Structure 1
Amino acid sequence: MAKSLKELALSRASAFRHTDVTVPEWDGVKVVLREPSAEAWLHWQDVIKPGDTDGDLSVSERAHRNLRADVTLFIDVLFDEQGEPVFSKNDFADVEAVYGPVHARLLRQALNLTTDPKEAEGK
């Protein structure tokens, strides 16, 4: 029996675009990448543009700020095959300590879910 429109609209799995991805670097595990939530974007914005920045940041400070912003989003977009979050905000320091190219690639794939290529062509 087909799900009702109400069931579909209220389904956690249907609230965000998502894609299944195999991660070869992690022993071929399959993960679900979801587009970032509005809350994650707000946290990202707080990291990227904090209200108390005085003057220009050094290259090192900008790199660290950008890393922290990426980790904020990465924690929000990575799910296991059952659709459960892999990390919580409490895992921030652990993720930040090891965040690298594999994590960045996965985040980029999740961010690409926010803009459909066909939608982008029409603009």
Structure 2
Amino acid sequence: MGKNIRELALARLSGFRNKTEVVKEWGGVGVILREPSAEAWLRWQEIVKESDEELSVSEKAMRNLRADVTLFIDVVCDENQEPVFTPEDAEEVQGVYGPVHSRLLKQALDLIANSDDAKKK
């Protein structure tokens, strides 16, 4: 008998491309990275829509950090496919956000289908 399409379509991460990544800097723990949700993209847009002309360099850096954290907390899941963070964790994550977090976010963003992928289909 074939696979149950309904069960596959309703599985927790079935709507997102995802991958498992081992984070050596976090004691070798495995995390699941997924594409950002539409809600996270909307929160990100809300943050970055501020005009650059009105912001100092420091303010731009803080704005960009807040935007990255907004996406980061959305894309990290544990090995049980449960989200690790909620939007309420943003301030705490922002306080420790560094190159490891940034690399993980980049890998999650790389999962997004680009126009070349779409053309191949």
Instruction: Count how many residue pairs are aligned between Structure 1 and Structure 2.
Output: 120
Residue 63 of structure 2: aligned partner: 65
SS of corresponding position for 1:30 = strand
Contact 2:21–2:30 under 8 Å retained in 1: yes
The TM-score with structure 1 as length reference comes to: 0.88
Q: Deviations over 1:2-59 (max 9, x none)?
A: 4322222222221100000000100111000000000000000000004xx5943111
Structure 2 spans left out of the alignment, 5+ residues: none
Taking only aligned residues, the RMSD between alpha carbons, in angstroms, comes to: 2.1
Question: Relative to 1, partners in 2 of residues 1:27 and 1:55: Cα closer, same or farther, differing over 3 Å?
Answer: same
How many Å separate the matches in 1 of 2:36 and 2:27? 25
User: Which one of the candidate residues 102, 113, 119 is aligned to 1:104?
Assistant: 102
Question: Relative to 1, partners in 2 of residues 1:23 and 1:121: Cα closer, same or farther, differing over 3 Å?
Answer: farther
Q: Deviations over 1:84-107 (max 9, x none)?
A: 111111111110000000000000
SS of corresponding position for 1:12 = coil
After the TM superposition, which residues 47-86 of structure 1 pair with which residues of structure 2 at under 5 Å, given as runs?
Answer: 47-50=47-50, 55-86=53-84
After the TM superposition, which residues 1-16 of structure 1 pair with which residues of structure 2 at under 5 Å, given as runs?
Answer: 2-16=2-16
Residue 32 of structure 2: aligned partner: 32
Pick which of 92-101 and 10-19 moved more: 10-19
